[in-house]
């Protein structure tokens, strides 16, 4: 082998090793790499919570090394107001996605996957006229995370209102019995529950410890729960109760109104289910019934004519 070919082979091997090391992390990294990541996120204008990327935690490490910087650059290019609004919605959903970067990363991955599936379908069929299929599939993948986030917020809102319908009357009874509003909240929060009880437990601890005033604590409670007029009304009544205003009767009336709304919603959903079952049953039964009733006369008519 000539010296020129040997040199080319060595350079190629060194380049291949550098690429493999960049993807798979063959050589150990110094601890300062973590600081480098934090600094990179600061350069992108991202906080630690926004830039936290966990969707590749269970995937091979090279996927994070390949796509992580691209996704963080993408998130850093989004306006700060839009990132803040998304972070607020993620918080209200119970963190359907663990961070802003996870949301946008999922959107990028799903868009690429759906677009690739559409492209494969187009090439398999060999029809250039189906060029719109990859675009349509990609758009579908792009909007799936947004749809999932909205569904998570709506579902959490229903669960919170259900908890409030059966929890506010107990809180009202404690207050009417002479228990202070802070102690009543602590007693109610001792029972197991969902998102509303968890937020109430945190609020009761904050008010009891005196770490913040009631208005700030209730603002945090509203930020943790899906936006709803009933939640806002409950928060304002708790603030009034802490300041000494009697709120027992008002909480009882709100609980009764929530239960009435819950019963109406359950009745509506039950009627819709009955309608769907009836429609499906009729769709299968009517053709069979028509065949049984009209079959013999039709056969007799064919024999005669």
Percent of the chain, pLDDT > 70? Answer: 81
Find out whether 249 and 179 touch, Cβ atoms under 8 Å: no
pLDDT, mean of residues 72-90: 87
Q: State pLDDT tens for residues 8-27.
A: 555 555 555 555 555 555 54
Residue 63 in this model has a pLDDT that exceeds 90 = no
Confidence class of residue 39 from pLDDT cuts 50, 70 and 90?
very low
pLDDT of residue 277: 80
274/55: higher pLDDT: 55
Confidence class of residue 218 from pLDDT cuts 50, 70 and 90?
very high
32-36, 42-46, 123-127: range with lowest mean pLDDT: 32-36
Joined tokens for residue 193: 């529950």
- Residue 248: partners with Cβ closer than 8 Å, 6 or more residues away: 172, 173, 175, 176
Q: How many helices (H) and strands (E) does the chain have?
A: 12, 0
Distance in angstroms (rounded) separating the CA atoms of residues 235 and 242? 11
User: Which residue shows structure tokens 């059966």?
Assistant: 166
Half-sphere exposure of 160 (CA within 13 A, CB side): 26
Residue 152 in this model has a pLDDT that exceeds 90 = yes
47-61, 185-199, 247-261: range with lowest mean pLDDT: 47-61
pLDDT of residue 147: 95
Alpha carbon distances (Å) from 217 to 64, 189, 200, 285: 38, 15, 10, 58
SS3 28: coil
Distance in angstroms (rounded) separating the CA atoms of residues 221 and 207? 12
pLDDT of residue 268: 80
- What residue segments make up the domains of the chain, in order of their start? 3-154, 156-260
6-10, 36-40, 101-105: range with lowest mean pLDDT: 36-40
Cβ neighbourhood burial of 194 (10 Å; 0-12, 13-18, 19+)? middle
Residue 240 in this model has a pLDDT that exceeds 80 = yes
- Residue 206: partners with Cβ closer than 8 Å, 6 or more residues away: 212, 217, 220
pTM: 0.75
| Per-chain mean pLDDT for the chain | 80
pLDDT of residue 20: 55
Distance in angstroms (rounded) separating the CA atoms of residues 77 and 99? 16
Joined tokens for residue 97: 């996605």
Residue 73 in this model has a pLDDT that exceeds 60 = yes
85-94, 117-126, 238-247, 280-289: range with lowest mean pLDDT: 280-289
pLDDT of residue 22: 53
pLDDT of residue 157: 95
């Amino acid at each position: 082998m000539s010296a020129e070919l040997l040199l080319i082979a060595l350079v190629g091997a060194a380049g291949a090793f550098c690429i493999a090391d960049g993807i798979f992390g063959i050589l150990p990294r110094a601890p300062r790499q973590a600081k480098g990541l934090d600094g990179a996120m600061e350069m992108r204008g991202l906080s630690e919570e926004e830039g936290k990327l966990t969707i590749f935690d269970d995937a091979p490490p090279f996927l994070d090394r390949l796509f992580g910087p691209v996704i963080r650059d993408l998130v850093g290019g989004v306006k700060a107001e839009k990132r803040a609004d998304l972070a607020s919605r993620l918080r209200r959903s119970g963190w359907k996605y663990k961070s802003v970067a996870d949301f946008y990363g999922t959107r990028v991955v799903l868009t690429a996957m759906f677009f690739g599936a559409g492209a494969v379908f187009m090439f398999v069929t060999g029809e250039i006229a189906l060029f719109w299929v990859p675009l349509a599939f990609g758009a579908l993948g792009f909007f799936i995370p947004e749809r999932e986030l909205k569904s998570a917020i709506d579902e959490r809102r229903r669960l919170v209102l259900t908890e409030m319908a059966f929890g506010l009357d107990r809180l009202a009874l404690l207050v009417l019995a002479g228990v202070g509003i802070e102690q009543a909240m602590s007693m109610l929060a001792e029972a197991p529950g969902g998102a509303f009880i968890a937020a109430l437990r945190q609020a009761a601890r904050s008010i009891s410890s005196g770490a913040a005033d009631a208005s700030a604590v209730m603002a945090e409670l509203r930020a943790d729960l899906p936006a709803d007029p009933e939640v806002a009304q409950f928060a304002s009544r708790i603030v009034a109760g802490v300041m000494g205003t009697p709120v027992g009767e008002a909480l009882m009336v709100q609980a009764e109104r929530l239960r009435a709304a819950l019963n109406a919603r359950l009745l509506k959903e039950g009627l819709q289910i009955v309608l769907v079952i009836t429609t499906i049953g009729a769709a299968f039964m009517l053709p069979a019934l028509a065949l049984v009733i009209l079959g013999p006369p039709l056969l007799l008519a064919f024999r005669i004519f």
